[in-house]
Chains A and B, each alone.
Chain A
Amino acid sequence: MDAEKCEFLAGDESIEIIPKLNADEIHLISADVGPFEAGVGTRVPLWLALLLRKKHYCTIVTPNWLSPDELRRYLVAETENAGLTELPNYFFEIAHILVREAHEDLLESDLVKTLVQDLWDRREAKLRTSIVKFLSQKNVSHARLDYVQPTEVVAARPTLAACKQIARLVANIHDSQQSQT
């Protein structure tokens, strides 16, 4: 997995759009979408929303959780919680995609960008300390990381190599201990 693949997966999340055209229902393999009525909000997968938007056929409605107020609430929660706070699915992917490709449709996109970055920084710091803590424990090979987001897993992937090294080290030590006894 990498960031691009995470964004690909986020493309299947549903999002609200305001169509600018009228069109019949379309039967896709993944789902049926539409019918579309100009000016009447409807939900479609994000990839379709981006496609329609590129063709000037719709505007994307900023998800509620991406409003500055909601983002500030998440930030507060992130500060108060010791662990990670629960976020909507593919939070960072969707935020990045929208800021990059649809920022004209976002309300206060500059502010949103900053707040999302703040949230990311705060969570990243938490993850880093918890991973350091995890790697330095003596006997346990397992850590629980609820509510971690896909992109964060990608960012934390190097940890896997570290885990492997530790495992190999332990295995070697155990081997040599066994051969000694």
Chain B
Amino acid sequence: MDDSFQPDALLNAASSSGEAAEEIGNEEEDEELITPAEVLLKMKRAWQNEAAAPCILPHQYEILEILVDQIDGMDENLARVKDKTQLKVSIHRAELQRINYLTSDYMRIRLKKIEGNVRRIMTQHNERLRQGKPPLLSEQELRFAEKYAKAEAQLLGKSVLGFLPTPVQKIPHPEEDADLSSVYLQVLEDNVENVPLPDYTDPTAEIIVSLERDSIHLIPFAPIRDHLENDRVRLL
């Protein structure tokens, strides 16, 4: 009964993407071999952060693409199984569905953020590239953003702006208010020291706090943004 179903094939799928992960690990730094389970954990963290962050965060598409390939591979393996009602199949399916949700929702959240303020996000993306920081958008997202920006500009142009005097032909920008937002976060690594917070009574003063490991805070987003990018804290 089990011959049509190959757990080995599943393992292969897992280990091949494990290799893929390894390559990427090498590219980045001397990270150790990364297991599919670890990739999944990272994805979960990225999704949680993205969902809770008031602005778009640097993309995690290396991880995402490993998982997307993994889902493809598993889908193929499962499609080959004859008896679809085997318990094993259901269990693998259910797990795939969870991972699929995670990756899809991650992409969706980011696309919606891009649509919400496409011009500003593209500017920020380019600025980061100039500064040598990790890119904000993935290749795929960037292509999407460009197309979207064009479509939006055309819509506005053909509906209103094209009929207006040149000085009022500008495309409206929604405000960016990530700088004013607060977030809930948990400290992951050892204490995060020297976080400068604004002092609401004096615009020139700062209050310096340090955040203990594992502690949870309600805190302005701007000052901890870098710590988030460096995985020292996570958003809730």
Q: Real complex partners, A and B? A: yes
Collect the chain A residues with CB atoms within 8 Å of residue B177's CB: 164, 168
Binary interface encoding of chain A residues 25-38 relative to chain B, with 1 for a CB under 8 A from any of its CBs, else 0: 01111110100000
How many residue pairs at the A-B interface have CB separations less than 8 Å? 126
User: Is residue B116 within 8 Å, beta carbon to beta carbon, of the partner chain?
Assistant: no
Q: Is the CB of A142 within 8 A of B219?
A: yes
Q: Is the CB of B48 within 8 A of A28?
A: no
User: Is residue B20 within 8 Å, beta carbon to beta carbon, of the partner chain?
Assistant: no
Q: Is the CB of A28 within 8 A of B95?
A: yes
Collect the chain B residues with CB atoms within 8 Å of residue A9's CB: 44, 48
Collect the chain A residues with CB atoms within 8 Å of residue B24's CB: none
Q: Is the CB of B91 within 8 A of A177?
A: no
Q: Is the CB of A139 within 8 A of B207?
A: yes
Binary interface encoding of chain A residues 12-43 relative to chain B, with 1 for a CB under 8 A from any of its CBs, else 0: 10000000010100111111010000000000
Which one of A48, A143, A171, A178 contacts B180 once the chains associate, using CB atoms below 8 Å?
A171
Contacts from B to A (Cβ < 8 Å): 7, 10-11, 14, 36-37, 40, 44, 48, 51-52, 70, 74, 87-88, 90-92, 94-95, 98-99, 101, 177, 180-184, 197-203, 207, 209, 214-220, 236
Contacts from A to B (Cβ < 8 Å): 1, 5, 8-9, 11-12, 21, 23, 26-31, 33, 47-48, 51, 55, 57, 131, 134, 138-148, 150, 153, 156, 159-160, 163-164, 166-168, 170-171, 174, 177-178
